[in-house]
Amino acid sequence: MEIITHRHLRSLQKSKGFFYAHANKGGKLLARLLRGTLPRTQVRKLRLSTARTSPFPNDIADEFQSFYHSLYNLHEPNYLDTNRSVLIDNYLQTFAMKTASPAAAEALDGRITEEEMSAALKGTKVGKAPGPDGFFSWLL
């Protein structure tokens, strides 16, 4: 009995030492530990529309297909009677969307002047590139 306890304690000390040495490194140990804590995303069984539960993948796939088909199906009779653009307009009118005044819209559509560009570049933080080209503002 004492030999088993001694082996057990020795094994425990070795594993503690291993965790101490490798716990703060990104490697197989961390990946294995994190894999156990990730939530499972697989659907193992599903209650079907017939009120019975099925673990079979074909039944689960068919149920998902029928659910999303009925959810996103826009070709039902009630949608054929009304015009889609009317539905979209009614939906968009439920939100208070801000619009620019005609003068502001004209100013926004105008050309960007050299003074505006210079002021914008001078206001850029040091070391930051203003565009996708990667050139810093102090180079311009």
If pLDDT is split at 50, 70 and 90, which confidence band does 59 have?
A: very high
Nearby residues of 100 by Cβ (< 8 Å), 6 or more positions away = 108
Measured CA to CA, the distance from residue 73 to residue 61 in angstroms comes to 18
Measured CA to CA, the distance from residue 38 to residue 91 in angstroms comes to 39
Q: What is the pLDDT of residues 30-58, one digit of tens each?
A: 777 777 665 667 888 899 988 899 999 99
Q: What is the pLDDT of residues 80-131, one digit of tens each?
A: 556 777 887 788 888 777 788 889 888 888 888 889 888 887 787 777 766 6
Nearest to 59 by CA among 68, 71, 48: 48
Q: CA angle, corner 138, sides to 136 and 140, nearest 5?
A: 85
pTM: 0.32
